[in-house]
Amino acid sequence: MHELSLIQELLDMVKQSAIENGITRVDRVRLVVGESYGALPEALAFAFEVLAEGTVCHGAALDIVDSPLLFKCRECGTEFKPGEYSYRCPDCSASNAEPVGGRELYVDYYEGD
């Protein structure tokens, strides 16, 4: 369950930023998770609830935003969501595409006092 280590790193980053900014209580954390990252939202939420106890994030809401897997065709520049078994561009049918979304994992923001 790599979600535990991901949330522990997230909490460490938020705690450090909160200290640097004089924030004593975090109310909300927004986390962006790419579709291809392989992290389960339910497991992330559970890990956050457990690991946040006793920290500046205790009781904070965790908003998880999914970022869809997205490719960009290197031939025509079209951005597209790949099919289940196909990574071909829907506009020009080229199979020369690069991922441009859905691989990220970051804290978008947090709110607190």
Closest CA to 105 of 53, 8, 38, 51: 38
Q: CB of 35 within 8 A of CB of 67?
A: yes
Report whether 73 belongs to an annotated binding site: yes
Report whether 58 belongs to an annotated binding site: no
Report whether 57 belongs to an annotated binding site: no
* Structure tokens that stand for 109 in this block: 């923001």
d(C-alpha 35, C-alpha 105), whole Å: 10
Residue with tokens 């979304």: 101
Q: Is 21 exposed, middle or buried (0-12, 13-18, 19+ CB in 10 A)?
A: exposed
Residues making up the annotated binding site for Ni(2+) are 2
Residues making up the annotated binding site for Zn(2+) are 73, 76, 89, 92
Residues making up the annotated binding site are 2, 73, 76, 89, 92
